[in-house]
């Protein structure tokens, strides 16, 4: 009897995967909720796998692609759970694959720290072993380059180096060394032999029969999910090679037919088939033991379906989200909707919240105030422009009159007489005659030019100035009236107080309060409109 301690023990191990149309989201949701669908198919990647691995053993796992080798290594490492059966692990497990745990955008050095931390090492331990890991990996200056630039062999070297320096009890090597160069493979082999001599357990998954034969004490041959054979490499490897040669010699159609048949068997498999196989092998089992095994096989350990409690929780959360959405579309608060659900649905659904109405009212008032202020400013600007235009017009008219009066004369028109000219210009006949001493005014002819006295020019200019000033005064009075009308109200701004407003406009606080008897001036808010008194102090 072998006295070595059992490190790994698998009993009646199975692994089932559910095959669903990946593009159909409804089927995924139904599967999660535990509702069966017509398109659902079961694929049993492992079927009734049982074995034991003891201290210091190196056991190889061989088989064709799709035989279930990686599925078995993932179950033993704890990455996935089995469907039925039991797996007993006595020790720390570390798995190495070419890309296992590697972050392609990080450098090799950063991946060492990341993967070591995931394995349970501390930063202090990592710092102490960093140089040894880098030296063992033989990556040299490439250790600080992103892993996405590494070849498969470089990734395998890095992963293996991290694993062997983590010093695990159980090492699982999944195709990691098949891509390495011979020098590194020999170094790795010596390191693994050291581990085996120290009593550590090694599970080697590989297609390289030479490595399996050199390294392994026993071999597990998996064929489409079931253990085809388990024993020493001298016995198992020749049988496997014979099977491989037979399979390769088959025509392509026969190979496809064989694969399809085996996969159909995996799809048709069930727990009942497992029970039949177990009880057939264990004919000597007692009735009590049969019942225990049967109950254990019916327990589904990897069910991804939601439990009853999880379903209740998900339903409650979903209803809560829907309720919050309805509350956001109503005029009620969450507390009010829960306290009075009937009035919530009948009276407050799809109604604006009071706070929202208030905000809209404030926004509209601000827009109105801005429009009024803009209109006031435009009105003041128009009045100022009119005043300026009036003053400019008066000045221009005065200058034009002066220009015309300098050296002015009058051209006699048809029908004019000296008396009519004097009356038109507000002069006497004697004034015109004295201004023109060399002219005979007994007869005046059309086209004749005569000088006018200065008094006529001054009188005409004075009359024009008087008229212009009257117009300017009228326009100024209108502008003042507009300003007074504009300044009858004031819109409160941020930082204003009743005292500062009174000071700015030259009123007393009492005058403003008297003008606004309905307003409470204990608190004034920005945007508030108040009336101003009619006259300043």
What is the rounded average pLDDT for all residues in the chain?
Answer: 78
Q: Which CATH architecture has domain 375-479?
A: Roll (3.10)
Please say if the pLDDT value at position 372 is more than 80.
Answer: no
Average pLDDT over residues 120-149: 90
- pLDDT band, residue 46 (cuts 50/70/90): very high
Higher pLDDT, 293 or 108: 108
Highest mean pLDDT among 55-59, 230-234, 314-318, 497-501: 230-234
Average pLDDT over residues 29-42: 60
233-242, 321-330, 476-485: least confident range: 476-485
Q: How many CA atoms within 13 Å lie on the side-chain side of 52?
A: 6
User: Phi, psi at residue 200, to the nearest 5°?
Assistant: -85, 155
CATH entry, 6-91+169-299, from 3.40.50.300, 1.10.260.40, 3.40.50.1820, 3.40.220.10: 3.40.50.300
The strand pairing partners of 445, in sequence order, are none
The pLDDT assigned to 473 comes to 56
Average pLDDT over residues 308-317: 82
By CB atoms closer than 10 A (0-12, 13-18, 19+), residue 83 is: buried
- Going from the C-alpha of 411 to that of each of 155, 308, 417, 436, the distances in angstroms are 116, 119, 12, 13
Neighbours of 387 (CB within 10 A): 16
Indicate the CATH number for domain 489-531. 3.10.350.10
Alpha carbon 345 to its chain centroid, in Å, reads 34
- Going from the C-alpha of 181 to that of each of 97, 100, 141, the distances in angstroms are 16, 19, 18
The pLDDT assigned to 300 comes to 62
Average pLDDT over residues 394-401: 52
Higher pLDDT, 1 or 286: 286
- pLDDT band, residue 404 (cuts 50/70/90): very low
- pLDDT band, residue 98 (cuts 50/70/90): low
Give pTM, 2 decimals.
0.55
The pLDDT assigned to 365 comes to 79
User: Phi, psi at residue 520, to the nearest 5°?
Assistant: -90, 110
In contact, 223 and 65? CB cutoff 8 Å? no
User: Phi, psi at residue 10, to the nearest 5°?
Assistant: -115, 135
Average pLDDT over residues 458-469: 55
17-26, 289-298, 299-308, 400-409: least confident range: 400-409
The pLDDT assigned to 239 comes to 94
In contact, 457 and 408? CB cutoff 8 Å? yes
18-32, 118-132, 158-172, 363-377: least confident range: 18-32
In contact, 45 and 84? CB cutoff 8 Å? no
Sorted by where each begins, the domain ranges of the chain are 6-91+169-299, 308-348, 375-479, 489-531
The pLDDT assigned to 486 comes to 44
Calpha distance 214→331 (Å, rounded): 79
Calpha distance 8→78 (Å, rounded): 12
Higher pLDDT, 167 or 179: 167
Q: How many CA atoms within 13 Å lie on the side-chain side of 236?
A: 24
The strand pairing partners of 349, in sequence order, are 330
Please say if the pLDDT value at position 357 is more than 70.
Answer: no
Give yes or no on whether 375-479 and 489-531 have one common fold: yes
Q: Any residues with CB less than 8 A from the CB of 106 and at least 6 apart, and which?
A: 114, 146, 147
Neighbours of 468 (CB within 10 A): 19
- pLDDT band, residue 429 (cuts 50/70/90): confident
């Amino acid at each position: 009897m072998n006295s070595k301690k059992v490190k790994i023990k698998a009993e009646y191990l199975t692994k089932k995967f559910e095959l669903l149309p990946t593009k159909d989201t409804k089927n995924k949701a139904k599967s999660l909720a535990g509702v069966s669908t017509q398109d659902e198919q079961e694929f049993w990647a492992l079927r009734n796998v049982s074995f034991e691995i003891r201290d210091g053993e190196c056991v190889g796992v061989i088989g064709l692609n799709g035989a279930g080798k990686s599925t078995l290594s993932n179950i033993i490492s704890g990455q996935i759970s089995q469907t039925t059966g039991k797996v007993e692990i006595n020790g720390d497990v570390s798995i190495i694959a070419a890309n296992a745990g590697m972050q392609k955008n990080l450098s090799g050095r950063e991946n060492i720290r990341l993967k070591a931390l995931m394995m349970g090492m501390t930063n202090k331990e990592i710092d102490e072993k960093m140089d040894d890991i880098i030296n063992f990996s033989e990556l040299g200056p490439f250790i600080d380059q992103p892993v996405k630039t590494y070849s498969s062999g470089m990734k395998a070297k890095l992963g293996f180096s991290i694993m062997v320096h983590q010093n695990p009890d159980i090492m699982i090597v999944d195709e990691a060394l098949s891509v390495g160069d011979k020098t590194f493979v020999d170094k790795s082999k010596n390191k693994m032999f050291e581990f085996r001599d120290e009593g550590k357990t090694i599970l080697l998954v590989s297609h390289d029969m030479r490595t399996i034969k050199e390294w392994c004490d026993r071999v597990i041959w998996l064929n489409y999910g079931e253990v085809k054979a388990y024993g020493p490499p001298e016995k198992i490897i020749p049988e496997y090679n014979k099977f491989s040669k037979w399979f390769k010699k088959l025509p392509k159609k026969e190979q496809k037919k064989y694969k399809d048949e085996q996969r159909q068997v995996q799809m048709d498999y069930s727990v009942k088939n497992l029970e039949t196989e177990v009880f057939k092998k264990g004919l000597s089992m007692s009735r009590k033991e049969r019942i225990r095994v049967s109950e254990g096989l019916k327990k589904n350990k990897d069910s991804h379906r939601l439990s009853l409690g999880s379903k209740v929780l998900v339903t409650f959360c979903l209803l809560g989200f829907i309720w919050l959405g309805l509350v956001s579309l109503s005029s009620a608060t969450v507390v009010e909707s829960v306290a009075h659900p009937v009035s919530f649905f009948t009276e407050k659904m799809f109604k604006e919240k009071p706070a929202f109405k208030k905000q809209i009212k404030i926004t509209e008032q601000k827009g109105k105030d801005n429009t009024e202020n803009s209109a006031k400013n435009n009105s003041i600007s128009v009045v100022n422009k009119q005043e300026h235009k009036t003053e400019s017009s008066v000045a221009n008219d005065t200058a034009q009159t002066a220009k015309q009066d300098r050296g002015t004369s009058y051209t006699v028109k048809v029908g004019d007489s000296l008396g009519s000219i004097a009356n038109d210009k507000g002069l006497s006949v004697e004034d015109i005659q004295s201004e023109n001493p060399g002219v005979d005014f007994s007869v005046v002819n059309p086209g004749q030019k005569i000088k006018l006295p200065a008094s006529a020019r001054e009188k005409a200019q004075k009359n024009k100035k008087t008229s212009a000033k009257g117009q300017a005064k009228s326009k100024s009075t209108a502008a003042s009236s507009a300003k007074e009308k504009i300044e009858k109200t004031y819109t409160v701004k941020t930082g204003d107080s009743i005292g500062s407003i009174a000071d700015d406009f030259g009123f007393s606080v009492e005058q403003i309060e008297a003008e606004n008897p309905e307003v409470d001036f204990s608190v004034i808010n920005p945007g508030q409109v108040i009336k101003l008194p009619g006259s300043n102090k």
